[in-house]
Structures are given as structure tokens and as C-alpha cells.
Structure 1
């Protein structure tokens, strides 16, 4: 008994140290480093432009990346340490570009240019009129195709410019490859924009592609998004190619708006670019500067979450709330006494709900579970061994996911197409366990556990979907020490669960 008490006291000391350490770090961040409990307080965006390429043997490599306009973008753009530090900023044709020159290399290479975007008030500038549309002679079939497309959209030539561009983009979006062939050889959005530029030239309206990125942390990495920029009524007007909707989306950063390229790579081939964007509290910058002064930039200068690449920060932000969701599972099972299908299955299902939204996720999960249980019941009659039976269930779940995605695509229900985010093996084991529980304990017990699992998954989803809690537990990651301490304390709880108190309540009354 004394040995048990000694270990218990050691546990209490450990939990106390965790609580004090978390409280001390939390207080120092708030008091001395300008961190804030308000997730809308001072912040800046950190962006990584990662260029991948295959070097050509013996050739020097030159990389050039277009940067946003400091005056009109609403952000001050400054390079930061990390990535390739040899980048320099050059002014080319009035546009700022980040340029990097490398000696000959071999093998697939990836270099990153990291920059900071600090919000500032944009400066309005008078739009520069483009040169007249090139009126060089076109092949007869191309000129005829342009006129035929415009005649089909606006036969009386009465549509307003915005309405005409919207109708044209929608028509090109549904046009077949043969119908678009006179204007472009590209497919997808790039082909739509190229064809629209060629067709609008018939009306004498200059147009150009516009590229940029979303300042969105939910995307771990993103490719540049393409829009159409059209000149009429003495101004430029932006349209979304896939819908024809006018205007730029919210929190969109324009990187390429003129005829210059978004990025260029010479001395290499098969080049591509991806961007990662994350939001960083203003206090993190002051903490980084102090850390660099004390321990040196080249020593342990990167020992902080905020110094990681933006894509890695976004990944850890998604994982920031997992400790809290796990604490919820511990409370649910050890204190409340609710039995679920698998210990952490509700949390994994809730993470899939984040990609699909709650209602489409619940419907998809119930559909897969119902059909899977029916097929699992049929497989029982075949007297299969356990491993082949579970393997068959896994294959069935894959086929069901494919069927749901195909149906969602045909019915234009994009939220249901995220069904592939469900943890495949976990669902297969849930079907197997639910079927076994049905055979051993009956349908009522099975349905209760499934309902408890879905209820717990829903609550976990509400926790994981909280933007404020994510900000709090990522910015103040030391709070995970408190969560760890609470979990350790709950590990010593040996009292009655709430559900057991409800069961034994008639005895207490008697």
C-alpha cells in the first residue's frame, strides 16, 4: 500500500509541474511577447513558394518568381529567413520578382522562397489602358468559329459586357474539346481562359490571364489559381473561369496580372510551383528575434513551431486540437461511461467530417455502414476465415466510397466527394465489430454503441472545427501540458461512471 501511495504522490508532483510549466510559459507569452488571446489580433501571413524542377546536365539554373504589388495588393511583402537565402529582389518592367541563381545540379530539386505578408491599406491606382487588340489576320476557320460562338451567345449584340463575359465562360465550360479546338489546345480552366481571350478579341476587348493564391490555412499546399481579366468601360474586370462570376474571391492575393510569367526556370525542365500560406501571430516574430539574439540564428534558431515551413505549420494546426478531442474521449469512456465502437474511432471519423462537413459526412458514414453490415451478414453465411472476411469488407468499403463519389459527381454534390477522407481500415473494423456485437449481444446493444459513437464523433467534430480553439492550442501549445496532466489524473479515477450511477439509482432509492 505504501508503494502505491508513493507512486500516486509522484504522479501528483508530475501533474503539478506540468501545470506550473504550462502556466509560466502562457503568462510570459501574454505579458512579454505580445501574444493575444484574440485570434483576430495583430498577425501576418507567411508564404512559401516552392519550385520543383529537373536540372539539365551542366547548365546553371536561374529561377524568377513574380511578387505581389506592394502598393495595390494590400500587403507589404518582405523576404524572411529560411529556404534558399540566395534569393534577391529585382525590378523587371516595373514588377518585383524574386530571383535565384544556382550552379549546376543533378536530380530532382526543390527550392523555396519564403516571404512575409503584412496587412496594410492598399493604394488606389488609375488602371493602365492596354494596347489595342492585335488585329492580325486569322485563319478563316478560327475567325468563323469566333463569330459563331458570339452569335450563339449574343445573337442581337445587346448583352452588357459583364453578362456577355459570364455567358461566354459558362458556354466554354460546357463546350466539348472539338468546339474549343479552334481557340485552344489546352484543357480545363487554362483552356477556358485562353479560348475566352481569343473570342473576346472579336469584340475588340483586351483580356489577359490573372493568377494568384488564396490566403487560406486549410490548404496545406495549393497551386496558383487562374482567373480572367477583361478590359472594358475603361477598367479591368475579373471573372472566375469555372462559373463566370465577376470579382475576386475574399482573401485572394494577386501574383501575376500583366503579361509577365508567374515564374520562370531556365537551365531545367519539368518545373512546377506550389504555395503554402499560414497565419502567424505578431508576437511570434518578437519571440523569434529574441530567440535568435540569445541562442544564435545558426544554432537552435529554428526551435519553434513558427519557424517551420508554412505547409508543416498548417498540418500541425490541423493536429492542434487532437489532444483536446482525445481528452473528450477519455472523459466519455472513463467518467461518463459511454461505450463506443473502438476507442478513438469517433475522433478519426470526426477528422473526416472536417473535410466533408458534418451532414454530408454523417449521411455518407451511415450509408457505408448500413450497406457494409448487410454485406458482412451475407459473408457470415459463407463461413470464411476472419482475415479473408475482413479483407473482403475492406474491398467492399472501397467500392462503396467510389460509388458515392461517382454519384456525388453526377448529382453535383461536391461535399459528398470527400468520402475518400474516411479512414478506410477503421470503417472496415467498425463494420466487423458491429456485426460481431450484433451476433453476440443483440441489435439493441449494437445500435446503442453505434449511436454513442456517432454522438461522440459529432461532439469531437464541433471541437475540431473551432477556429478559435485551434488558434489557442497552436499558438499556446504549452496548454497541451495541462491536457496531459488532466489525462494522467483521470487515469487514477476508480469511482463510479455516470451511466453506472443511473443504473444503480433504484437501489440507492430503496
Structure 2
């Protein structure tokens, strides 16, 4: 007996722990939303390319577009143009779109549109980059000024990160004579980046230019320059103006390198303008979209991977254990008497279509009329199988009559009575009739009311949308329910109703 108790406790612990761990993994690691109403941001980015085409010359426009191998995942990408061919190439970790046309004249407008989200962007690939570079050749006064700046930088830095930050701070001190010499009167951000690159190259520290777009809605945007360097494990991002380390979360890397955003052949006066806006989408629908458009596969082995019609069936099925749990608590802990365990649950499922109030009325009418017929058939001394067949046929006829009568009265809700399980109604009538004969009408009424009450309570719980979503999305919760049911299976104590029945003994 002791080994049996230990075995049961271990089994319960394993089931509950497994259910908790799987659910926690889905919520905290995979990032599946806890509620159905949870939404996520979608960013819509439009890049508008305008230029003046030269007549009689072929037109070729090349523009960098985001690599998308970062914190964001693309839901839709489109290239909008009139009579232009479109191709995409990958060059040195960047993506470049090429619009081409044999002939074009006058003002031309091309559009690039991107819809992306941050959630479900998947695992980041392992970072790779150079850890050494050759020095940029520099002579004369520039070399002396660079060496003069590098001396205190080396003294005040401890590693690559602090070396780069210190270099950026020194270059932004425009009052320093050495900095003035290297900048040559041009204190623009690109020229500062060029000077920073020169100083870092002398120390053999590699550096790349990173051009980003800030994700802010309804504000004009232009590419913002950042610098980055590889420390052997990760890319370190720096602001060339402040030396601030770390790329802000609202920045989208558009391209890297020294090249311009757009190049044109066969045209002039090219301009690129960006417009951004954000919207929200249901998180689960967003997960389905990302699952289809990326390599993310965390929904593939969930119930959301099933066909839509099958999903709707399982949304009902996964709630049945909750209904059974309600009946289990009502019978084993409270002591409510019902017609079996599963009969109230099946009646509760029928209430999903008839609605609770109307369903109770229909159930009561059909059961009462069925009991009357069962009482009449008892006088005919029929065997059980023919008797059940007659009652079942009567139930079908009664359901059809109620549906027809309701339709004539305009009560369309009455048509849903056909969803009542006929066999369950027949067996309910039979068992109530037997209970009436063996224990009296009062006890039969008590059991019938208890069955209806349990079915109504199970229906209310099984109809909670938030609970339905949670169990369907995190089916491992059912393992925890099984553990609780196993624990209740060994309960041998008093039920709540028995405490009231034996209250007199407690006083003695």
C-alpha cells in the first residue's frame, strides 16, 4: 500500500511538473501570447524613389533594402513600379533591389514597401565579422595629429569597446587642434565617421558604417549613421556623435558599408523619402503569418497547425476534461448526486448551441414527457431493449415536433434542440425512471436537478472564451488536470453534503 501511494505521488508530480514546464516554455521562451486579445505592433515602411529619367537612355536604379536577418521578420515585401523590371541581389551581407527599363522619360516614381514585426523573429544567427584590419595610409601633419590623438586614447581604454568609445569622444571634441586638422573644417557626421575609421585603422581595429531607419510613426525619416565593430563574439554598435554604445531597439538596419543608399544610371536628381506607420494585429494571427513566411516552426506541432475545421472540433474537445473536472469536484468533494459522470458533460456540450436557459427548458420538457412514456411502457411489461427503442424513437419525434413548432412561432433557437444527444436523453429518461421506481420520486427529482445543475455549471466554465483559448493554445494544461484528477481519485474523506447530514454526530 505504501509503495502504491509513493507511485501515485511520483506520477502526479511528473504530470504536473511536465505540464507546467511545457506551458512555461511556450509562454516565456517561444513567446506565445497568454490571451487571445493580445496584439503586436506591425510596421509599414514605404520608401519612395523619385528621379528624372533621361530620354533615349536605358534606366537602371539600384537601392539598398533591409537584410531582414536581424530582430525583425518580414510579413510582406513589395516593389511597386510601372513598366520596370525588378530583381534582388545580395552583396556583402546587404540586399539591393534593381529597377530597370529600356526606355523612360520625364519624372519617375518607384515604391518599395515593407511590413514587418518584431515578435517571432526567430533565433539570431551566430555573429561573424573581422577582428583585424590594415592601417589606412596617412602621411605628414595628419599622421602626427592622429598619433597625438591615439596616445591618450590608448591610455584611457581597457578593451575594444572602451577604445572605440574613447576615440569617438575625442573626435567629437571639435576644439582640439588635432581634431580640427583631421576634420579639415568639415564637422559633418559622415566626415567624423571617416576620421574615426582612420584612427581605429591605425590601431588595427575594424569598423563598419551602419545605416539605420528609426521606427517612429508619422514622422519624416532619413537614414541615420551608426558605427559597428566586431569584438570576436558580437557586433558592438556606436553612435558617431556621442559614442553611445548599443543600437536602440527602435532602429532598423537598412544597409552597411560606405556606398550610397541609391545609385542611378540613365537618370538624375534622384531622391528617396521614407514614410512609416504602425498598426496592431492579433498575436496568434500574426504567429500564423510569420510561421508561413519564415522558418519559424513553433506552431507546426501545435493545434494551430491543424486544418481550420479540425481546429474548431478540437476547441470543443479540449474543454471536455474541464467539464469532467467540474463533475468530479461536485460529486467527490461536494457530494452532489448526478446521473453518472459523463451525462452532465454531454448535456453541457448541447447547451453550447441551445444556450443555457433555453436548453434547460427543452431538456426538462423532453425528459418529463419521456418519463411519462416510460411509465406507460412499464405497464406493457416490455423487455429493456424494445422499451429503449420505443423511448428513443419517441425522443426523435419529440425533438422534431419541438423544432417544427418553434420554427412556426419564429423561435429559431428551438431548432438547435436537434443538437441534444438523443441516446443520452434516452438513457437519462431510462435511468431516471429506474431511480424513481427504486428510490422514489423525490430522490429521482433530486438526481435530475443535480444533473441539470452540474451540466449548467460545466457549460458556464467550458464557455469562458479566455479559458477556451488558453487550454487550446497550451494543451499541456491538461496534464496538470490529469494530475489533479489522480489526486482526487484517492480522496476518502467526507463530502460537503455529508458534513451537514452528520452534523448531529459531531455535536455528540
Q: Calculate the TM-score normalised by the size of structure 1.
A: 0.50
Q: Which moved more, 1:432-441 or 1:24-33?
A: 24-33
Cα shift at 1:465:
1.2
Partners of 1:316 and 1:324 lie apart in 2 by: 13
Q: 1:480 is paired with a residue of what secondary structure?
A: helix
Partners of 1:341 and 1:447 lie apart in 2 by: 11
Which residue of 12, 15, 24 corresponds with 2:12? 15
Runs of 5+ in structure 2 lacking a partner?
A: 42-74, 77-115, 118-281
Give the corresponding residue for 1:26.
23
Partners of 1:377 and 1:486 lie apart in 2 by: 41
Partners of 1:486 and 1:398 lie apart in 2 by: 39
Q: Answer yes or no: is the 8 Å Cα contact 1:33–1:284 preserved in 2.
A: no
Q: Answer yes or no: is the 8 Å Cα contact 2:374–2:429 preserved in 1.
A: yes
Q: Answer yes or no: is the 8 Å Cα contact 1:397–1:424 preserved in 2.
A: yes
Q: Answer yes or no: is the 8 Å Cα contact 1:33–1:283 preserved in 2.
A: no
Partners of 1:487 and 1:288 lie apart in 2 by: 35
Cα shift at 1:285:
4.2
Deviations 1:106-135 (A, max 9, x none): xxxxxxxxxxxx99xxxxxxxxxxxxxxxx
Give the corresponding residue for 1:196.
none
Which residue of 281, 284, 293 corresponds with 1:281? 284
Which residue of 409, 412, 434 corresponds with 2:410? 412
Mark the CA change 1:415 to 1:294 in structure 2 (over 3 Å): closer, same or farther: closer
Partners of 1:393 and 1:414 lie apart in 2 by: 26
Q: 2:475 is paired with a residue of what secondary structure?
A: coil
Runs of 5+ in structure 1 lacking a partner?
A: 45-77, 80-117, 120-278, 296-300
Which residue of 344, 347, 353 corresponds with 2:345? 347
Partners of 2:440 and 2:331 lie apart in 1 by: 21
Cα shift at 1:284:
4.6
Q: Calculate the TM-score normalised by the size of structure 2.
A: 0.51
Cα shift at 1:294:
7.9
Mark the CA change 1:32 to 1:447 in structure 2 (over 3 Å): closer, same or farther: same
Which residue of 330, 334, 337 corresponds with 1:336? 334
Mark the CA change 1:288 to 1:323 in structure 2 (over 3 Å): closer, same or farther: farther
Partners of 1:369 and 1:342 lie apart in 2 by: 16
Give the corresponding residue for 1:323.
321
Mark the CA change 1:411 to 1:27 in structure 2 (over 3 Å): closer, same or farther: same
Q: Answer yes or no: is the 8 Å Cα contact 1:408–1:417 preserved in 2.
A: yes
Give the corresponding residue for 1:395.
393
Mark the CA change 1:337 to 1:292 in structure 2 (over 3 Å): closer, same or farther: farther
Cα shift at 1:291:
11
Which residue of 476, 479, 492 corresponds with 1:478? 476
Give the corresponding residue for 1:468.
466
Q: 1:477 is paired with a residue of what secondary structure?
A: coil
Q: Answer yes or no: is the 8 Å Cα contact 2:320–2:462 preserved in 1.
A: yes
Cα shift at 1:43:
7.7
Partners of 2:324 and 2:294 lie apart in 1 by: 32
Cα shift at 1:23:
1.4
Give the corresponding residue for 1:450.
448
Mark the CA change 1:459 to 1:293 in structure 2 (over 3 Å): closer, same or farther: closer
Partners of 2:374 and 2:445 lie apart in 1 by: 16
Q: Answer yes or no: is the 8 Å Cα contact 1:43–1:281 preserved in 2.
A: no
Q: Answer yes or no: is the 8 Å Cα contact 1:42–1:282 preserved in 2.
A: no
Give the corresponding residue for 2:439.
441
Partners of 2:354 and 2:426 lie apart in 1 by: 19
Deviations 1:210-265 (A, max 9, x none): xxxxxxxxxxxxxxxxxxxxxxxxxxxxxxxxxxxxxxxxxxxxxxxxxxxxxxxx
Q: 2:36 is paired with a residue of what secondary structure?
A: coil
- Is the counterpart of residue 309 in structure 1 residue 307 in structure 2? yes
Mark the CA change 1:404 to 1:38 in structure 2 (over 3 Å): closer, same or farther: same
Mark the CA change 1:294 to 1:415 in structure 2 (over 3 Å): closer, same or farther: closer
- Is the counterpart of residue 359 in structure 1 residue 357 in structure 2? yes
Partners of 2:18 and 2:297 lie apart in 1 by: 21
Q: How many pairs are equivalent?
A: 274
Partners of 1:413 and 1:437 lie apart in 2 by: 34
Partners of 1:293 and 1:36 lie apart in 2 by: 16
Partners of 1:360 and 1:471 lie apart in 2 by: 25
Deviations 1:367-392 (A, max 9, x none): 10111111111111100011100111
Deviations 1:343-364 (A, max 9, x none): 2111111111101111111111
Partners of 2:9 and 2:22 lie apart in 1 by: 20
Which residue of 371, 374, 388 corresponds with 1:373? 371
- Is the counterpart of residue 41 in structure 1 residue 38 in structure 2? yes
